Amino acid sequence: MNEYNKFCEKFKNNSFLIYFLPSLLSKSIQYKNNNYFSLKFQFKLNQIIPNPLKIFSLFFSYLRIIIFALKQLIKKRKIVCFCTRPGGMQNKHSYEDRRFSGLERNINKKGLSVIYYCDGVIKNKKFLNKNPVLYSEDVFSLAKFLFLIFSLITLLRFKFTSRNYPQWKYDLYINLYASIVIYFFSIFFDKVFFWDFEYSRYPLFISSKFAGCNLIGSMHNFHPLFKLPWISGKSIEHLSINHYFTDYQSTFKIFSKKNKVNNLFKPYKWQRKNKLLNIVIIQENQSDQSDLLNFIYKNRSIISNIFIKLRPDKSGSDLFLKKIKFFNFKVKIINNVFDNFTKEFIFIGNASTLLLEIAAKKRLALSFDDNLEKIFETPARPFAIKNTRDLNKLNNVISNPYYITELDSLEEISLLKKYLVPSNAVVNHVIFQKYKINSLVNQILKG
């Protein structure tokens, strides 16, 4: 984040490129060595040559959206563009993301029509889906083609001289051209649900701004600030772009009208009954989880059964299972973590949102965090509700999820006769999940 801020200071405020710099934040954060802005572009034909079939697909989408827009104009219905992703689609018949399930139905009830922007690579495109779809992979293919037309001479000059073309410049111009492409789609939209300011979604946001659309963003789960800073509004606040964002605070406005917050932090008792432990490892992609597996291996003598909860989209699951096999663990895959069978289980992960949902169901959730960064206490968007009590001053009370490191003993933790109190993250997450669709609909209808 600091490297990104230093980089942005080099640009003058009157530079048009200042509008596209925030797209590089999510790119730069992927490089653990903080060396993104010093990387040189690797001149490879397979990286810069566009796919002509995807460009053809893009023009087909454009034609379909024009026809769709004309129909909505006759019906006097406004058009909302929803961001989605292949890994989040609930079934083969719908492009709706499972994390915003029910949003399309609610918006249709309000007399608006929906178009989708599919962010990511999809295997089986549906060209005749009931809602027109704009595919990001098609957009970026045409962006590469535009880059070749306008920047090839410059690129070749850097390739065949002592000077090198920087990676950030290539990424920035690709994002610029992608934004130009999407602009010609955005002129048909009235409102755009762009999600956040991540690199591949940023063109949808910025092009729709210039097309005059109402902009709506949203969290979808808990997001840690230092891992996903592009969800924070701070990344674009210098641009002064009017937009709405659904988060804990906007959602709490709906919740507070219906409920009281007095009992949200009510303690509950967790006590181990069985001699040996049953644990569930939550697979996630925020870290490689090798340290967590080492910790479990170290405590294997007190563990009876090890269960694995894989990600719903199975992203990275094969690699995760290979790591499990390396430790020679005998594991069972578990799908339902909330039935009566799991009441006394201990659930261990790093930063998965599922840990918050498990803690909300009065199970003991452990967040393994070797640096003790307490990841659930640093949200990308500020909490609306906070527990004002200091748990350290209360006897036999701990916050759930509970943070552990490799220095902790699983045996000692499991023997503690403690009262668990839902953490700030748990309470805010539960409210957000329950009311986020209502909050989003409100935000979309504001414009």
Which 3 state secondary structure label does DSSP give 363?
coil
The secondary structure of 174-207 as a DSSP string is: HHHHHHHHHHHHHTT-SEEEEE---TTTHHHHHH
Residue that is written with structure tokens 């002509």 in the block: 52
Nearest to 4 by CA among 30, 15, 14, 16: 30
Q: What is the pLDDT of residue 399?
A: 86
Nearest to 243 by CA among 219, 215, 218: 215
**Can you read off the two tokens belonging to residue 324?**
């499990």
How much is the average pLDDT of 123-152? 87
Average pLDDT across the chain, whole number: 87
pTM over 0.95: no
**CATH class (in words) of the domain with range 268-433:** alpha beta
**Has residue 162 got a pLDDT over 60?**
no
What is the Rg, in whole angstroms, of the alpha carbon atoms belonging to the chain? 24
Cβ partners under 8 Å of residue 268, min gap 6: 362, 419, 420
Note the pLDDT tens digit of each residue in 200-213: 999 999 999 999 99
How much is the average pLDDT of 399-413? 86
Give the distance between the most distant pair of CA atoms in the chain: 71
Q: Alpha-carbon distance 176 to 168, whole Å?
A: 12
Torsion of CA 163, 168, 169, 171, to 10 degrees: 130
Tell me the H-state helices in 88-130.
103-109
Q: Please give the backbone phi and psi of residue 12, each rounded to the nearest 5 degrees, phi first.
A: -75, 150
Q: Alpha-carbon distance 139 to 135, whole Å?
A: 6
Band of pLDDT at residue 161, cut at 50, 70 and 90: low
Confirm if 40 and 169 have CB atoms less than 8 A apart. Answer: no
Nearest to 201 by CA among 286, 288, 97: 97
Which 3 state secondary structure label does DSSP give 281?
strand
Q: Please give the backbone phi and psi of residue 432, each rounded to the nearest 5 degrees, phi first.
A: -60, -45
How much is the average pLDDT of 101-109? 94
Q: Alpha-carbon distance 151 to 146, whole Å?
A: 8
Nearest to 304 by CA among 334, 322, 280: 280
Note the pLDDT tens digit of each residue in 119-128: 998 887 777 7
**Has residue 163 got a pLDDT over 70?**
no
Band of pLDDT at residue 22, cut at 50, 70 and 90: very high
Pick from 190-199, 312-321, 355-364, 393-402 the range whose average pLDDT is largest.
Answer: 190-199
Domain with CATH 3.40.50 in the chain: 268-433
